[in-house]
Amino acid sequence: MRKILFDCDTGIDDAVTLLYLASLVRAGEVELVGVGTVHGNVDSRTGALNTLRVLELAGIETGVPVAIGAGRPIAQDVHYAVEWHGGDGLGDTRLPEPQGRPVAEPAPAQIVRLARAAPGELTLLATGPLTNLAAALLLDAELPALIREVVVMGGAFDHPGNITTHAEANVWHDPEAADLVFSAGWPVVLVPLDATHPTAVHDDWLRRVAAHDSAAARFATRVLDYYADAYTPTLKRRGAVIHDALAAMLAVDPGLGEYAERAVRVELRGELTRGTTVWDARSVPAEDSRRPVRIAVGSDVAAFQDRLLSAILSL
């Protein structure tokens, strides 16, 4: 059974990813050992309350500590993605307060503690800016050796950026943190926009969720309705890219993806390109001495969409 520590900025697609993980927890396929939240789509406290709301809705809140993490990036001002996720991060649904409360421990300290409790066993799944992971690396120099694998939704290579011309949001929100994570000595799988955009779901898929009568399906329908409105101009038809769920699915079943292995660096200085992920795509042997990252360049789109739909409908 895979042990996942989830770091996120909940956020609509993070919330749908929590539903996906909840279905695997309920099926006994995944152990969700904890969640940490970070600034990004919303502030890290709102993200934690949203996480608790979704865990409670999915009935898996018991024994899953939710820790608040970094409230701002390392070297720039904080920025929230209100236009994509709403002011409350959940499509302005203004859901009631959750029953539970975040734990007192900060998210980076939780990463270190849980990694030390299960050396070599944890998959660190990150679907927000990477500030908590960077802070955890600074807290404990041995952390890379304690983690089984880090799976990150972030970056864009041959795909345009989604927050600037070249940069993807999770990396752009804290470029210094992302570069630290990509250069650390742990195995990293990166799931960029190149892989997530082709998985966009459209009206037919959304209608199947809407037709189902359960609290989870009603919640997913409400938040995805807002998200699809925001996505329609980009996709040029009604639909939504549930980025974070692809990273979660590839963390659980890597065989669903196609990958390239390359060292990845983050542009930290460019006037127009700060926050852009860069790889050396030349055919000559790469000169970069960094440990290569496994970058998802494609996936089995039909399997992704079917499994995500079944997961939501199973709750």
Q: Does 152 help bind ligand BDR (rule: CB under 6 A)?
A: no
Which of these, 206, 203, 248, 189, lies nearest to 20 by C-alpha position?
A: 248
**Binding residue for Ca ion, selected from 5, 7, 12, 14, defined by CB under 5 A:** 14
Encoding tokens for residue 47? 């993200």
166 catalytic? Reply is no
By rule CB under 5 A, what count of residues binds Ca ion? Answer: 6
Torsion angle in degrees (nearest 10) through CA of 222, 223, 229, 230: 170
**Minimum distance of ligand BDR from residue 214's CB (angstroms):** 23
Q: Which does 135 bind (CB under 5 to 8 A by kind): ligand BDR, Ca ion, none?
A: none
- Choose one: 10-18, 70-78, 93-101, 118-126; the region binding ligand BDR (CB under 6 A): 10-18
Q: Which lies closer to ligand BDR via its Cβ, residue 84 or residue 219? A: 84
Encoding tokens for residue 248? 């979660």
The sheet that has 30-37: what strands, in order across it?
66-68, 30-37, 2-8, 122-126, 147-153, 188-191, 293-299, 257-262
**Binding residue for Ca ion, selected from 6, 7, 11, 152, defined by CB under 5 A:** 11
Helix axes 215-235 and 12-26, enclosed angle (nearest 10):
140
Q: Does 199 help bind ligand BDR (rule: CB under 6 A)?
A: no
**Binding residue for ligand BDR, selected from 25, 58, 73, 84, defined by CB under 6 A:** 84
- Identify whether the C-beta of residue 205 lies closer than 8 Å to the C-beta of residue 220: no
Q: Which does 43 bind (CB under 5 to 8 A by kind): ligand BDR, Ca ion, none?
A: none
**Minimum distance of ligand BDR from residue 69's CB (angstroms):** 15
Q: Report how far residue 148's alpha carbon sits from residue 126's, in angstroms, rounded to the nearest whole number.
A: 14
- Choose one: 43-51, 71-79, 163-171, 231-239; the region binding ligand BDR (CB under 6 A): 163-171
- Identify whether the C-beta of residue 105 lies closer than 8 Å to the C-beta of residue 113: yes
Question: What secondary structure, in 3-state letters, does 54-72 show?
Answer: HHHHHCCCCCCCEEECCCC
**Binding residue for ligand BDR, selected from 38, 48, 54, 81, defined by CB under 6 A:** 81
By rule CB under 6 A, what count of residues binds ligand BDR? Answer: 14
Q: Does 127 help bind Ca ion (rule: CB under 5 A)?
A: yes
Q: Which residues bind ligand BDR (CB under 6 A)?
A: 11, 13-14, 41, 81, 84, 127, 153, 162, 168-170, 243-244
Q: Which residues have a catalytic role annotated?
A: 243
